[in-house]
């Protein structure tokens, strides 16, 4: 029964509320602002993605109307262009200025705490393995070589869709990026940011005629260990799976 567990969600919701005339006083320390981008300088290899090719025939409202979850995938591989479009659509740079760049998703305070780790299962011309999306370079950093379908599926509470999908996008949050400005309320905004990314995953899949589903049921620490992150400063929060229907 739920009554046997600590109601930590209820406590968080109440403690993180903003109350008029009682807002936390906080001065931004610009000298210690966390880095905007995560880069793996010692990756096994770097793979430059093709520049996104947008099909002008795709109808926006049709995509919105027909968005849905898919839980069965074919064994046909996805293309590198499909992968490029997914990554650009989930966190690509679309308006670049000398000191700042906007992305294809909104983010509280423009802090963009979400990182993307594609676990590649079935993409034409790309070896299986765990990668990290280098947002600035629109490229992939290969972190681990191998077939991780079974491992990732088990870490997603044994959901078979993570085994049969062509790609598992593992989304993490760099807590400090948001906490630097929003203190403890940052967690609210991080989850909202993850939702923006997840919705774009669905819309891209629908536009490309592919299947997608998001997964929130995770063994958090097991995924963190797989990614070799500490689970505190950076932690797994969400997974999106995609593939051919």
Give the CATH number of the domain where residue 156 resides.
3.40.109.10
Whole-angstrom Cα distance, residue 18 to residue 185? 9
| Residue 117 maps to a domain | yes
Does residue 42 lie within any of the structural domains? Answer: no
The answer to whether residue 23 is domain-embedded is no
Neighbours of 192 (CB within 10 A): 12
**Residue pLDDT, tens place only, 21-66:** 998 889 999 999 999 999 999 999 999 999 999 999 999 999 999 9
The two three-digit tokens of residue 122, written as one number: 């079935």
Identify the bridge partners of residue 117 per DSSP, sorted by sequence position. 170
Total tally of structural domains belonging to the chain: 1
Percent of residues, the chain, with pLDDT higher than 90: 95
**Helix (H), strand (E), coil (C) string for the chain:** CHHHCCCHHHHHHHHCCCCCCCCCCCCCCHHHCCCCCCCCCCCCEEEECCCCCCCCCCCHHHHHHHCCCCCCCCCCCECHHHHHHHHHHHHCEEEECCCCEEECCCCHHHCCCEEEEEEECCECCECCEEEEEECCCCEEEEEEECCCHHHHHHHCCCCCHHHHCCEEEEEEEEHHHHHHHHHHHHHHHHHHHHHHHHHHHHHHHHHHCCEEEEECCCCHHHHHHHHCCCCCCEEEEEEEEEECC
pLDDT, block means (10 residues), the chain with 245 residues = 75 93 91 96 96 94 96 96 98 93 96 98 98 97 98 97 98 98 97 98 98 97 98 98 97
Give the pTM.
0.95
pLDDT digits (tens, 9 = 90+) for 201-226: 999 999 999 999 999 999 999 999 99
The answer as to whether 127 is a domain residue is yes
Looking at the domain assignment, is residue 92 inside a domain? Answer: yes
Range of the domain at 223: 63-243
């Amino acid at each position: 029964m739920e009554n046997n567990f600590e109601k930590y969600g209820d406590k968080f919701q109440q403690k993180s509320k903003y109350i008029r005339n009682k807002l936390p006083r906080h001065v931004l320390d610009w000298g210690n602002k966390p880095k905007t981008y995560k880069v793996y300088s010692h990756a096994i290899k770097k793979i430059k993605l093709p520049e996104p090719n947008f099909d002008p025939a795709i109808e926006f409202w049709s995509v919105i109307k027909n968005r849905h979850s898919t839980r069965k995938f074919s064994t046909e591989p996805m293309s590198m262009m499909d992968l490029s479009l997914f990554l650009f659509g989930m966190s690509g740079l679309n308006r670049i200025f000398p000191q700042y760049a906007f992305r294809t998703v909104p983010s509280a305070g423009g802090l963009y705490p979400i990182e993307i780790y594609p676990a590649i299962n079935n993409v034409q011309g790309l070896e299986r393995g765990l990668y990290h999306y280098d947002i600035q370079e629109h490229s992939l950093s290969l972190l681990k070589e191998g077939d991780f379908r079974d491992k990732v599926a088990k870490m997603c509470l044994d959901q078979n869709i993570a085994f049969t999908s062509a790609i598992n996008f593992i989304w993490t949050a760099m807590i400090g990026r948001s906490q630097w400005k929003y203190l403890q309320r940052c967690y609210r905004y991080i989850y909202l940011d993850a939702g923006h990314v997840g919705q774009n995953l669905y819309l891209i899949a629908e536009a490309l005629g592919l299947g997608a589903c998001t997964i929130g049921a995770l063994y958090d620490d097991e995924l963190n260990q797989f990614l070799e992150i500490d689970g505190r400063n950076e932690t797994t929060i969400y997974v999106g799976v995609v593939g051919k229907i």
